[in-house]
Amino acid sequence: MIDRWYKNAIIYTINVGTFMDSNGDGVGDFGGLRDRLNHLTWLGVDCIWVQPFYPSPMQDYGYDVTDYYAAKPANGNLGEFVEFSQLARDKGIRILVDLPVNHTSDQHPWFQEARRDRRSRFRDFYVWSETEPSETDKGVAFPGFQQRIWTYDDTAHAWYFHRFYRHQPDLNITNPSVRDEIKRIMGFWLKLGVSGFRIDAAHFLVDEVRPDGSVVRHYKYLEEFREFLSWRQGDAVMLAEAHVDLDEIPHFLGRGRMQMGFAFQPNQYVFLALATGDSKPLIEGMKRMPHLDHTGQWAQFLRNHDELDLSDLSPDERQRVLKAFAPDPNMQIFGRGIRRRLAPMLGNDRRRLELANSLMFSLPGTPVIYYGDEIGMGEDLSLEERWPVRTCMQWSDAPSGGFSTAPPGELLHPMIHNGAFGVETVNVDEQRRDPDSLLNWMRQLCDIRKSCPEIGWGEMEIIETDDDAMLALHYRWQGGKVLLLHNLADVARGVRLELKEEEAGELVDLFGNQVYPRESGASRTIELDGYGYRWFRVRQ
């Protein structure tokens, strides 16, 4: 039987350059990751998604790669990566590395040779047009920051296609040599100790784009990559960033293709529910989600390194979320999303932070934590585009936040100082010492979630309630049952749930460590205060 370890994992997202600097040069590195593995094991994490650390001009946060078989010197060498990956495995932590192979940097040797010599084998590694394509400005990924998707190259005397910025030419996935190269890259990192890959822009990776604007998607290529992974390492996984229509999701997840995919639609409805105090849109959104086969799994999240994309909401719903969490235009981006971290979005309200994280951990699938959210880090809105949420990790109240011994002005990314989210107030050291801190509560949440494999493996049932502020979820798996309740209403309004005798059983409150015996012949009333949540294990 193939080990589907990802079904009950907790994933933690890390950017190497902003997590921990071990040599005082102001840039995070593999030595820093190695030194902070104890923090992650203590927290309860058993899988790390490491964002791109490959050589790069860094025009797009490292997603513009010039060499897939190396690491940026500032982050360390391959020997240090192997040291980190081996120690992580010894501590029970698996590693997923980001794989941005929809495109390369325009500085990649492949593209440089392709543009110089049309007879080179690398010419067909990219997508070219000898004549100017129609509608070169249609379908840009980053409105307001990107002007077109086809650019003329004076050296190549042709137009090249780029789904994202002009410095990121798309690879030609229909070329078998490109797919073979992707498999070599995968095999290389598997040998260095990783357990799989977060596939960047997976929905664009399978696209065949033509100059006339037509697009054909070749889902079969995903089966080709999955077959390769299964042959090389049976338990290796692919985590897809595939923000597609619901009816297209089954083409990406399960069925011999990618095992995991980010739950973009539920993510948006979670924030709509938090903004309105109404569970109905979230319930309806979850009911519309396609059923995945036994190998498929959702990756649930609240925030990440990109914008909070609200494009699946109606215009009215989107405005309600923006009004609640990003009322200032400087907090918004691309005409569709929010460029803020979770804690400031929720007003740094501890009750709402607990509610949001508890809710995310209770949704079907595997939870994904963005670095720093476990301590309630803030953002720096003075930074451009998506950079506000990518500041350095705050380990202590030292001038450079314990991230580095370098002075604050020499750090790769800014450190937040002063105010409610400055390192003087929000840092790991202080919260580790405080038993009532958000960090210690998050550790408890991780522990409780690990004790509920029903959420990752089992079937979910939405229990009907008489109050729209209440979300009640029931999971069953291998004879085990858990009941998870959330009150989305504010502190001024409590809610209650009436459980019928056949639904109740003996309830074990997992957060309160209290047992409520079953009373024969009677219903059960459970009350929740505003922003309240309860996790119960149900014993018959």
3-state SS of 154-179 is CCCCEEEECCCCCCCCEECCCCHHHH
Q: What is the pLDDT, as a whole number, of residue 366? A: 98
Q: What is the pLDDT, as a whole number, of residue 1? A: 47
Q: What is the pLDDT, as a whole number, of residue 539? A: 85
Helix (H) or strand (E) holding 457: helix 453-457
As a whole number of angstroms, the distance between CA 60 and CA 506 comes to 53
User: Any bridge partners for residue 301, and if so which?
Assistant: 368
Report residue 229 as tokens: 């992974």
Q: What is the pLDDT, as a whole number, of residue 413? A: 86
Domains plus CATH for the chain? 5-102+173-450 (3.20.20.80), 109-161 (3.90.400.10), 458-539 (2.60.40.1180)
Exactly one of 207, 241, 354, 373 is catalytic; which is it? 241
Q: What is the pLDDT, as a whole number, of residue 513? A: 67
The residue behind tokens 């604050």 is: 408
Helix (H) or strand (E) holding 514: strand 514-516
How many helices, marked H, and strands, marked E, lie in the chain?
Answer: 17, 24
Residue-wise over 391-420: b if at least 16 C-beta within 10 A, else e? bbbbbeebbbbbbbebebeebbbbbbbeee
Taking alpha carbons only, the member of 248, 161, 147 closest to residue 202 is: 248
Residues 81, 85, 88: CA angle, nearest 5 degrees: 140
Distance, C-alpha 451 to centroid of its chain:
22
Q: What is the pLDDT, as a whole number, of residue 3? A: 81
- Side by side, the strands of the sheet bearing 337-338 are 308-309, 337-338, 332-333
For residue 75, what are the contacts with CB-CB under 8 A and spacing of at least 6?
16, 17, 27, 28, 29, 30, 53
The residue behind tokens 């720096």 is: 380
As a whole number of angstroms, the distance between CA 58 and CA 495 comes to 49
Query: In one letter, which amino acid is 302?
Result: L
Report residue 220 as tokens: 């079969």
241 is catalytic: yes
Q: What is the pLDDT, as a whole number, of residue 522? A: 53
Dihedral (C-alpha) 528, 530, 536, 540: value to the nearest 10 degrees?
Answer: 30
Residue-wise over 327-356: b if at least 16 C-beta within 10 A, else e? eeeebbbbebbbbbbbbbbbebebebbbbb
Answer yes or no: are the C-beta atoms of 147 and 140 closer than 8 Å. yes
Taking alpha carbons only, the member of 532, 530, 358 closest to residue 455 is: 358
Taking alpha carbons only, the member of 118, 119, 75, 114 closest to residue 97 is: 75
Query: In one letter, which amino acid is 539?
Result: R
Answer yes or no: are the C-beta atoms of 150 and 169 closer than 8 Å. no
Taking alpha carbons only, the member of 26, 110, 25, 28 closest to residue 62 is: 28
| Length of the chain (residues) | 540
3-class DSSP state of 515: strand
Mean pLDDT by 10 residues, the chain (540 residues): 86 98 97 98 98 96 96 97 98 98 98 97 97 84 87 96 96 98 98 98 94 91 96 96 95 93 97 96 94 94 96 96 98 96 98 98 98 98 94 97 96 91 98 98 98 96 92 95 94 75 75 69 76 91
Answer yes or no: are the C-beta atoms of 292 and 298 closer than 8 Å. yes
The residue behind tokens 């030595």 is: 31
Taking alpha carbons only, the member of 398, 432, 429, 431 closest to residue 415 is: 398
3-class DSSP state of 465: coil
Answer yes or no: are the C-beta atoms of 301 and 370 closer than 8 Å. yes
Residue 269: φ, ψ to 5°: -75, -25
- Alpha carbons within 13 angstroms on the beta-carbon side of residue 514 total 4
Answer yes or no: are the C-beta atoms of 199 and 205 closer than 8 Å. yes
As a whole number of angstroms, the distance between CA 248 and CA 245 comes to 5
Q: What is the pLDDT, as a whole number, of residue 54? A: 98
Exactly one of 200, 207, 312, 379 is catalytic; which is it? 200
Answer yes or no: are the C-beta atoms of 309 and 336 closer than 8 Å. yes
Q: What is the pLDDT, as a whole number, of residue 512? A: 81
Report residue 522 as tokens: 């009677």
200 is catalytic: yes
